[in-house]
Structure 1
Amino acid sequence: MRLAGESDLAAVERLVHDAYTPWIEVIGTRPLPLESDYAALIAAGRVHVTSGFDRLEGLIVLVPEDGVLLVDNVAVHPDLHGKGIGRALLAYAEEEARRLGLPALRLYTNVKMAANIALYESLGYVRTGQANLEGRSAYLMRKPLSP
């Protein structure tokens, strides 16, 4: 795992496109991660990537907030689903939260992304509410970390 650099921008955007485009049909609109400014997120040191032999395999966007680390985006290349990359990215987020002295993680996910919701719940995230985010219905989820 490493921070994405400026030279990773095209690969990051391609990975996000490949990971989220299949969800457009499911949720009926473009998922929010397709709208993000990855040049700005990379410049701010928010994008962490994992790569294989010839491409980025996954990424996670982490944003420290007051008392919590926001998992703003988790993307895994579609060819690599089911290989544990998403779980590894979320475990990395827990390590980062602890390193930053933050006692919890939070994230949001579209209510129609059942596979993602099931993954998050299996990892200890709990639904804390529901919100309308830019015209999209999302579950708010949180995971407290043990000290």
Structure 2
Amino acid sequence: MTADYAHAVREHRIDLLLRGEDLAALIEMIPRDDHLLIENVAVSPAFQRQGLGRTLMAHAEHVASTLGHNVIRLYTNQRFAENIAFYRRLGYTIDAEEQWHSGVIVHMHKSIAPSGLA
């Protein structure tokens, strides 16, 4: 893994979802000039299949909307077919596929209404 988590904590927006005192899930977002980038969504195995990923993705839409963005972008590994199917069910479309090292990155986006325009 090459992620620089110290940088992410300093520079990105990371929102946590707690269940009691347990960290159940998190979403890492990077506000850009013209969109919100979802960098990471993680749900603890003990809390999977409870709709928390869907909750975090809806939260990202709210964040993007309040920032005045009408687009959310994300990317994932082509090997994670279940994730791609999940994002598609939420209304994301595939923009491009890009060869990266020994895999393929799938770039996706979703258009939303900015706050006050819905």
Q: TM-score, normalised by structure 2?
A: 0.88
> Using the alignment, how far apart are the partners of 1:109 and 1:141 within structure 2?
8
In the other structure, the counterpart of 1:121 is 88
For structure 1, which runs of at least 5 residues remain unmatched after alignment? 1-33
Cα deviation for residue 54 of structure 1 reads 3.5
For structure 2, which runs of at least 5 residues remain unmatched after alignment? none
Cα deviation for residue 66 of structure 1 reads 2.4
> Using the alignment, how far apart are the partners of 1:134 and 1:49 within structure 2?
31
In the other structure, the counterpart of 1:139 is 106
RMSD: 1.5
Aligned-residue sequence identity (percent) comes to: 36
Aligned length: 114
**Residue 107 (str. 1) matches residue 74 (str. 2):** yes
**Residue 61 (str. 1) matches residue 28 (str. 2):** yes
In the other structure, the counterpart of 1:83 is 50
**Residue 130 (str. 1) matches residue 64 (str. 2):** no
> Using the alignment, how far apart are the partners of 1:75 and 1:144 within structure 2?
22
Find runs of 4+ consecutive structure 1 residues off by over 3 angstroms.
133-136
Q: TM-score, normalised by structure 1?
A: 0.72
> Using the alignment, how far apart are the partners of 1:134 and 1:104 within structure 2?
27
**Residues 59 and 134 of structure 1: is their aligned pair in 2 closer, same or farther, counting only changes over 3 Å?**
farther
Judging by fraction of residues, say which structure has more strand.
2
